[in-house]
Chain A
Amino acid sequence: MSRARTLLVWGIAAVIGAALAAPAAARQEYYDYIRKTSGRPIDCAMCHVNPSGPEGHDAGQIGSLTPEQLEQLKHARAAFDPGQEVHNPTLNAFGNHILQVVGRQRFLDLRSDPARLATELGAISDLDGDGIPDSREYRDGTHPLKPRSGDPGLLLLTNLRRGSLELALILLATVLGLYGLSHLMRGIVAARPAGPPAH
């Protein structure tokens, strides 16, 4: 009986250990895929609170979580199906968004085909509001939660559209300023006593 209990305890420990280890193993495939396709250096901060990942005792890592947060972590790790509200305290808004959209099971399955994650995330969600969908930022290796991080060409086009009024105003102010300045200088010349002839 006692032996059976020991086996049971070890079995549970092994399952918990595997569950904790799974995301670490999952990260590597996605990390390699993004680095390869984008050519940009990335780190765990794309999906996690801590740039070094969830393991450790620093802020946003498992070792620093409060009992309440550990409870949230447990719930999040049990969210295998898509559409569930997820609040994993070691993940940032994008990491939680991925789990919410595709579910944990699918996320683990997609390790063999990380490119599909972009497709499954869709082209609508844009968590940082920079005009570039999160799925595109995932592929480009830019940060989905930082509006200053993104493909420079896409950012330029989006911000040009958004800032068209400011641009029109600055253009008008510059033209009017130059017009006034040219009249001022002509006025100074006209008011001066006659100088050498102009060429």
Chain B
Amino acid sequence: MRVGSWLGRVGRAVVARFPTEKMNVRDLVGAKEVPAHRMSWAYYLGGLAIFFFLIQVVTGLMLLFYYKPTVSDAYLSVEYLTDAVPGGALIRNLHAWASSAMIGTVFLHLLTTFGMKAFIKPREITWLSGVVLLLVTLGFGFTGYLLPWNQIAVNATKVGLQSVEELRAYLPAAVAEWPRVLRETFQGEASIGQATLSRFFALHVVVLPVIVALLLGVHLLSVQLHGMSQGVDKPTGRAERFFPFFLMKDFTVWGIAFIVLFVLALALPFDAFTAYPLLEPFNALGATPDGIKPEWYFLFMYYPLQLVPFWVVFVVMNVIVLALAFAPWLFRRTSRKMLSVLAAVAIVYIVGISIFGHQIYMLFKGHPL
């Protein structure tokens, strides 16, 4: 009876978050206003993340014309695409740079939203869908990383999947096998091989895009229904119409982002940041080469994993994810100032560990990784 009543309350709350009487063009677009204040720049981050996602979809579809998801052909098809197909290197670079830009923007969007306390009633569903979108975006990064089937891709994925199984040591006997089952489910066979590549490919190009499309639909509808949050403690009272003024500025930001992205894709190969031996085709019989690391957006977990026991990182990361998921209720009474400080600390940590992680590791361990 209690569960039924609780479910009823949740159901009514969800229905209340999607008022059907406001689902018309006038309310969703015409009447919407965007507050103007010192943090207004943060309102552009969500749109920017969508823009990078669209770039990913378009360039990803173009890459699909040439990419072959088999262990024998994946590497060669990527090499052929990059070296022989006209514009292939540009499209691949756009995909690679936009993936990093998308993940960075999603991180920043989530943290600024957190700092502006934009998750409180009636925006709980917007927030929750945003947190899940961040996790799905990281999933895109993890699955896409394997696809070129080179040394760093396969070895880093191997390390990532193996770390799942490390959980086993900390679980009670009844569920101790779950991490292994989970790893093998993603891996598809005893070690990384064709089954893993097929599964990661399916996840990357079908499953995750469908999840993102659904979540993004809910997220955007919710944003348009409830409008932008005030975001600051003392509203200025000024606002601008969403259509056409804010939207035009949004598109201008997209235009600037596109030019920056194009410059990077044209002039700076994403591969230039990785040592060439790590970009050679994966050799199953060879030793693991030096310098295997995940992409920059996983370094905030990677370096702690090298420095402290696994269970500590696991517990801390889960607490953070749960705290983010339940933020609308956990931080309901927390001041914006405190939330901004927490968000700033998170940004400093992520940027700091991503740039100086190796030096921090050396400082504590006294030897290179």
Contacts and interface: CB of A to CB of B under 8 A. Distances in A.
A156 interface: yes
Interface in B271-296: 271-273, 275-280, 283, 286, 289-291
Nearest to A192: B30
A110 interface: no
Contacts, number: 99
Contact of B244 (A160, A177, A186): A186
B268 A156 contact: yes
Contacts of B252: 178
A181 B291 CA distance: 47
A149 B267 contact: no
A18 interface: no
A185 B273 contact: no
B277 A41 contact: yes
A43 B244 CA distance: 56
Please report whether the interface of chain B is mostly helix, strand, loop or mixed according to DSSP: helix
A152 interface: yes
Interface size class of A (residues with CB under 8 A): 35 or more
Interface residues of B, number: 40
A51 B277 contact: yes
B263 interface: yes
A41 B290 contact: yes
B159 to A, nearest CB: 16
Contacts of B268: 152, 155-156, 159
B275 A141 contact: yes
Contacts of A195: 26, 30-31
Contacts of B244: 182, 185-186, 188-189
Interface in B183-240: 238-240
A181 B276 CA distance: 43
Contact of B280 (A40, A51, A171): A51
A149 B255 CA distance: 29
Nearest to A42: B277
Contacts of A155: 267-269, 272
B247 A185 contact: yes
A148 B266 contact: no
Contact of B266 (A42, A166, A188): A166
B57 interface: no
Contacts of A147: 269
A170 interface: yes
Interface of A: 40-43, 45-46, 51-52, 141-143, 146-152, 155-156, 158-160, 163, 166-167, 170-171, 174-175, 177-178, 181-182, 185-186, 188-189, 192, 195-196, 198-199
Given A40-B291, A45-B276, A52-B286, 4 more contacts: A41-B277, A149-B276, A170-B262, A199-B33
Interface of B: 26, 30-31, 33, 82, 89, 238-241, 243-245, 247-248, 251-252, 255, 258-259, 262-263, 266-269, 271-273, 275-280, 283, 286, 289-291
| Among all A-B residue pairs, the 3 with the closest Cβ atoms | A159-B267, A185-B244, A148-B269
8 contacts: A42-B276, A141-B275, A147-B269, A148-B271, A155-B269, A159-B268, A181-B248, A185-B243
